[in-house]
Amino acid sequence: MYDDRPHLEALEKGTPQTGNRLLADVSLPAAVVHEAPLAHNLAWMQRFCESHGARLAPHGKTTMCPSLFQRQLAEGAWGITLATASQCRAAFAHGVQRLLMANQLIGEANMAIVAELIEAGADFYCVVDSVANVDQLVRYFTARDLRLQVLIELGVPGGRCGCRDTDEVMALAERIDSEQALVLAGLEGYEGVVHGNDPERAVRAYAWQLVEAAQALDKDALIESPEPLITASGSAWYDLIAEVFREARLGPQFAPVLRPGCYVVHDHGIYRQAQHEILERRPELERGLQPALEVFAQVQSLPEPGLAIVGLGKRDIGHDQLPEPLRRYREGDERRRPLPVAGWRVTKLMDQHAFVRLAEEEEEPGSANGRVRVGDIVAFGASHPCLTFDKWRRICRVDERLEVIEVMPTFF
């Protein structure tokens, strides 16, 4: 009978199943985070926030990886942002004490999770945007004899959640102010749903609307928390939000909190383009973010000239944009010498197969680049890292020699 206990023990110890060499010992496909760009990104974003007088609460839903949460906190993050009560529970169970749930807390089962977190000592925040939700929260947390810290969400017409204007924010704040079970801790928004012919201008206008609504709450003494927050920012427009918060000179009235998540590993798609635009707006920002996440997979068939089938599919990598071939290696190559993949492109992605159209020279037997072989290992870049991380329960963190230095569990 097959005994899988050695493999389970190896995983519990945080090591690959058969060794530490990514190109020889790790079962592929595998999600891989490179340590050097990871360390750069962690320091870069922390430095950016501090230079703008803001706190960083990175969105943990991107990775749901406690090892990365702890790296972010060690670098100086104020807390971790999450999207659901279950995600908050997972983060708290792995040592995250301050949790910002940038979402409405709906449903008594989810309220029970949050109540247990508060009772266990979590510094927890969630958002509200309606009297109906406020009434639900008041009933539940009054019965539990707990006080819940909430942020009012300001949205935009046609957008996602959130009050649609400052008048709605003020009315909801007055309702919260009348309830003992809730503590109004500030204002929350998300600029990623702002659109228009001039999105940069629209995002700036939305950020100023957040500031003005927060200042109105402060003027009317509707915020009970001794340290009020104003928070926004995803991974595409964080520079504009930070600039407006700094220009507003919020001073002691509010602590600005930024919440980008994808920066930690960046990407080879939509956030690479967003970062390019940020650096065009802010050329003084040195170097910028670097992609750290890749998925390694092997060529499994060369069924016809100019076509390689790689063991990589929708179950392995995000596909709102098709993956990008980056490098190729020979399996077990101790020199770890990358071979080029210039001209390669993924044309189709199935559940567990990628159709890769090869460059013309790969069809030539005498190619100086080394003709592609079955078993070759290809590193792929992806767009939108959230949609790659959630496909994996273990991520390999590797050094510059492609040695696995940590196997990082995820908790989706």
**pLDDT tens figures, 112-155:** 999 999 999 999 999 999 999 999 999 999 999 999 999 999 99
- Res 6: pLDDT: 55
With beta carbons less than 8 A apart as the criterion, state whether 208 and 18 touch: no
Q: Which residue has the tokens 């990628």?
A: 354
Q: Torsion angle of alpha carbons 102, 107, 110, 116, nearest 10°?
A: 110
- Res 12: pLDDT: 52
- Say if residue 253's pLDDT is above 90: no
CA angle 311/316/317 to nearest 5° reads: 110
- Say if residue 384's pLDDT is above 80: yes
DSSP state of 52: T
With beta carbons less than 8 A apart as the criterion, state whether 243 and 41 touch: no
The contacts of residue 29 (CB under 8 Å, 6+ apart) are 295, 296, 297, 298, 311, 312, 316, 317
With beta carbons less than 8 A apart as the criterion, state whether 147 and 122 touch: no
User: What does the pLDDT look like over 5-48, one tens digit per residue?
Assistant: 555 555 555 555 568 999 999 999 999 999 999 999 999 999 99
Mean pLDDT of the chain: 93
- CA distances to 4, 94, 157, 401, 409 from 13, rounded to whole Å, are 15, 16, 50, 21, 11
- Res 269: pLDDT: 95
The answer to whether 15-32+289-409 and 97-260 have equal CATH topology is no
With beta carbons less than 8 A apart as the criterion, state whether 116 and 86 touch: no
Give the strands of the sheet with 98-104, arranged side by side. 55-56, 255-258, 229-232, 182-189, 148-154, 123-128, 98-104, 80-82
- Res 365: pLDDT: 44
Rounded-to-integer distance, Cα 133 and Cα 125, Å: 15
Residues 229-243: what's their mean pLDDT? Answer: 96
- Res 366: pLDDT: 40
391 in helix, strand or coil?
Answer: coil
Residues 186-204: what's their mean pLDDT? Answer: 93
- Amino acid letter, 27: S
Question: pLDDT-derived band of residue 344, with 50, 70 and 90 as boundaries?
Answer: very high
Rounded-to-integer distance, Cα 409 and Cα 33, Å: 12
Rounded-to-integer distance, Cα 208 and Cα 240, Å: 10
- Say if residue 4's pLDDT is above 80: no
Q: Determine phi and psi for 39, rounding to 5 degrees.
A: -60, -40
Which CATH topology does 15-32+289-409 take?
Answer: Lyase, Ornithine Decarboxylase; Chain A, domain 1 (2.40.37)
**Top-level class of domain 97-260:** alpha beta
- Res 196: pLDDT: 82
Rounded-to-integer distance, Cα 109 and Cα 106, Å: 8
Rounded-to-integer distance, Cα 318 and Cα 313, Å: 9
User: What does the pLDDT look like over 297-335, one tens digit per residue?
Assistant: 999 999 999 999 999 999 999 999 999 999 999 999 999
Per-domain residue ranges for the chain?
Answer: 15-32+289-409, 97-260
Nearest CA among 79, 137, 80 for reference residue 110: 137
Residues 163-182: what's their mean pLDDT? Answer: 97
CA quadruple 286, 289, 292, 294: dihedral sign:
negative
Residues 70-95: what's their mean pLDDT? Answer: 98
Which of 367 and 53 is assigned the larger pLDDT? Answer: 53
- Res 287: pLDDT: 82
Helix and strand counts by DSSP (H, E) for the chain = 11, 17
Question: pLDDT-derived band of residue 224, with 50, 70 and 90 as boundaries?
Answer: very high
Q: In the numeric block, which tokens belong to residue 179?
A: 């309830």
62 in helix, strand or coil?
Answer: helix
